[in-house]
Amino acid sequence: SRIKRVFPLTEVLEAASVITGEELLKVLLCDLYKMNEGIPLAGLCGSSPPGILKGALTLDSFVQELATRDSFPVPATFGHDRRLVERTGKDVTECLLLGFQELHIRYFPAVSFHDYKAAKRIYWKANEYVEVLYGNQNPSPLARAVTVTGDVFLEIQRRPLSYSRNLEKYRDLRMPWMEAVLRRLPSSLDKAGHFKMVTFISCVGMLMNGDFVVYEHLKTLIADMPLPQAKLQQLQIQSLFLLKKHYGINIWRLHERIPYRLIKQLSAAPAKSKQSLYLEDGEQLFKDVQALAETEDLPPAPRSTSRYLPACTSLKWSSQELALVDLHPFKTHKETYENYLKSCTSFIIAARTFGAFKQKRIKMMENKN
């Protein structure tokens, strides 16, 4: 399989740098996807990411790392092929840059470089991608929201405004309000003020999702914000409805047009295999006649039909229930409780627990005497 990846590149080593870079980039993609054919180039060039978007990167710095990093050990072939290109006297950085431009790559696997126990290697968590920025291109709103979300995570932990475990679900599903909030915040805010506003709004979204937030630290953040909550209401970031009051802090909910609920896509359950209902002529389904005969003669298994009141339920005893309590002085509580359960089953009445029954029986016997 490695020879199949190397062979197309060896045929274009003496070609123009753009052709060499295109084939070298395909070798890298083959290493990442661990396949020689069927690389989803159309998805990498599409208008939307083919998987989970984790941010954005500038192409110039990224190709520089790909050209210099020694993180492609066997069985990866990119490191070997990169040396072949270097032997021809070509600049690997320039070839890769031209290859990205020729293939019109917009999204690329979100790779990271690890150095573990003196073993350097490239790592990619499947289905995670980054947006590729050419030159001075600005990131898309989605990529910008992902980048800002990562910074908000660090700020929430630094202050601290919440626990790290409360942020885990937002790492994969993202904060759904971030894109809409970034569009609504005024561009006149400086970087520090903009960041404080986004952090505060993210805390409001977390509160609406039922996550824990330290209100004392949130109160400090509110005092440092460049814009009051009244201004956020004018910008249609916050609504006119208050969240539940805590420690005298008035916090308004997010505007109805700003999403805040996490939506997790559930994978469809695999279909259960069923035996074919269509049989050929002369074919019969095999049945264990002896086993069927034995099971058909058996009586149905006994099944308890007792019903009990839910836990922590306070309900007054009815006259019908009181009539089922046996007050015979020579019978134990356990014996009378068993008879009580049978009576409740026959009359289809929700039974009390043994503790409640015992307490009620003792009180009734005291009143009787």
Q: Where are the domains of the chain?
A: 2-139, 142-254, 319-368
pLDDT of residue 191: 86
pLDDT of residue 231: 94
pLDDT of residue 73: 84
pLDDT category of residue 117 using cuts at 50, 70 and 90: low
| Mean pLDDT along residues 206-223 | 90
**Higher per-residue confidence, 256 vs 311:** 256
pLDDT of residue 116: 66
52 has pLDDT over 60: yes
Residues 6+ apart with CB under 8 A from 194: 185
Instruction: Answer for the pair 304, 296: CB distance below 8 angstroms, yes or no.
Output: no
Which structure tokens are listed for 223? 């005092």
7 has pLDDT over 70: yes
270 has pLDDT over 60: no
334 has pLDDT over 70: yes
Q: Three-state SS for 303?
A: coil
- Residues 83 and 76: their CA atoms lie apart, in Å, by 13
Full-prediction pTM beyond 0.85? no
**CA–centroid distance for 103 within its chain:** 31
188 has pLDDT over 50: yes
228-254 tens-digit pLDDT: 999 999 999 999 998 876 657 889 999
Return the DSSP state at 351.
B
Residue % of the chain over a pLDDT of 90: 29
**Higher per-residue confidence, 320 vs 206:** 206
| Mean pLDDT along residues 175-194 | 90
DSSP per position, 179-195:
HHHHHHS-TTS-HHHHH
pLDDT of residue 263: 73
